[in-house]
Amino acid sequence: MAAGAQTGSEYIKHHLTNWTFGKDPSDGVWKIAETAQQAQEMGFYAIHLDSMGWSVALGFIFILLFGLVGRKATTGVPGGLQNSIEIVIEFIDSNVRDTFSHTNKLIAPMALTAFVWVLLMNLMDLVPVDFIPQIATYIGVHFFAMDPHHVYFKIVPTTDPNVTMGMSLSVFFLALFYSIKNKGVGGFVGELTLHPFTSKNLLIKLILIPINLFLEGVSLLAKPISHGLRLFGNLYAGEMIFILIALLPLYAQWTLSVPWAIFHILVIVLQAFIFMVLMVVYMNMAHDTGDH
């Protein structure tokens, strides 16, 4: 939607609202939200159709692209696409070998998937902020007779905390599974209750258990929260700057958006890398059994 059709605050709010499907609390009907307030009132069980759709679509692009290159890979001089993918795979494999000190065939493919998938989602932030939303508005108005002010369509899944927290919680629960599998229930509980403070005196050890449990519990729960919110915060901030630039006169947009986009490429790649590395670190900690 063009910035000129709205005030600056309305334009920003519109671009930061997801295409939401959920249960309207006013009448109990499941439908697509027509306003940002209605989307917010739909609560926990509402689905952000745009975030979900782009996440799945980009995941399929990753699978199809890597699968196609894998089937057509040659041992001779590789083409440009094959060479690029091989560089990415070798880069991820090298980082996994340096970070993960155990044996688990799942970790390297999971790290590759996380890095490429997050990178593709982050790259959507470089698409001009009005380009795809205007296409969505045109389709909504001309094919579904929708009010243009009620057409919401975000295209960067990693600016949605539901997506980033969903990924981080998946890593968290997988780390819990491997932690209990490798250390046993007793070892896992002991890790939470007997560290970092311990004593050979049984009474003091019992006194220290609730203190250790509090400290280790906070540390454990902070991992998925920081893992997901770090990615969300950086990409959300980048999207916000692009939206603010889009409110400026045309000459100023080109002057500011190009250098910011060039700088933002570094942020996009770095955040995908950090998400992947932290995932491998958490999985490595789940496999550590030295104290048990």
| pLDDT tens sequence across 185-210 | 999 999 999 888 888 888 998 999 99
Contact 54, 117 (CB under 8 A): no
CA distances from 156 to 17, 22, 119, 231 (A): 12, 20, 11, 12
Domain that holds residue 93: 3-287
Least confident of 11-15, 222-226, 274-278: 11-15
Q: Considering the domain boundaries, does residue 75 fall inside one?
A: yes
Q: Considering the domain boundaries, does residue 59 fall inside one?
A: yes
Q: What band does 160 get if pLDDT is binned at 50, 70 and 90?
A: very high
**83-106 burial string, b = 16+ CB within 10 Å, else e?**
eebeeebeebeebbeebbeeeeee
Q: Considering the domain boundaries, does residue 292 fall inside one?
A: no
β-strand 47-48 against 20-23: which pairing, if any? antiparallel
* Whole-number Å distance between alpha carbons of 35 and 255: 33
CA 23 to chain CA centroid, nearest Å = 25
The conformation of residue 200, written as its DSSP 8-state character, comes to S
CA distances from 246 to 13, 238, 256 (A): 13, 13, 10
291, pLDDT greater than 70: no
* Whole-number Å distance between alpha carbons of 200 and 119: 49
Q: What is the pLDDT of residue 5?
A: 60
274 closest CA partner among 230, 242, 239:
230
* Whole-number Å distance between alpha carbons of 275 and 164: 10
261 closest CA partner among 242, 282, 240, 286:
242
The region, left, alpha or beta by phi > 0 then psi within -120 to 50, assigned to residue 201 is beta
Q: Considering the domain boundaries, does residue 82 fall inside one?
A: yes
Q: Is the model's pTM score more than 0.85?
A: yes
Q: What band does 115 get if pLDDT is binned at 50, 70 and 90?
A: very high
Q: Considering the domain boundaries, does residue 228 fall inside one?
A: yes
Phi, psi dihedral angles at 23 (to 5 degrees): -95, 120
Contact 238, 265 (CB under 8 A): no
Q: What band does 76 get if pLDDT is binned at 50, 70 and 90?
A: confident
Residues known to be catalytic: 226, 230, 234
Overall number of domains in the chain: 1
* Whole-number Å distance between alpha carbons of 20 and 135: 18
4, pLDDT greater than 80: no
CA 262 to chain CA centroid, nearest Å = 21
Q: Considering the domain boundaries, does residue 183 fall inside one?
A: yes
290, pLDDT greater than 80: no
Q: What is the pLDDT of residue 227?
A: 97
Q: Quick one: 27 exposed, middle or buried, by C-beta within 10 A (0-12, 13-18, 19+)?
A: exposed
Q: What is the mean pLDDT of residues 150-168?
A: 96
Least confident of 64-73, 100-109, 233-242: 64-73
Q: Considering the domain boundaries, does residue 92 fall inside one?
A: yes
Percent of the chain scored above 70 by pLDDT?
A: 97
* Whole-number Å distance between alpha carbons of 114 and 168: 10
263, pLDDT greater than 80: yes
CA distances from 34 to 24, 188, 227, 281 (A): 10, 47, 32, 42
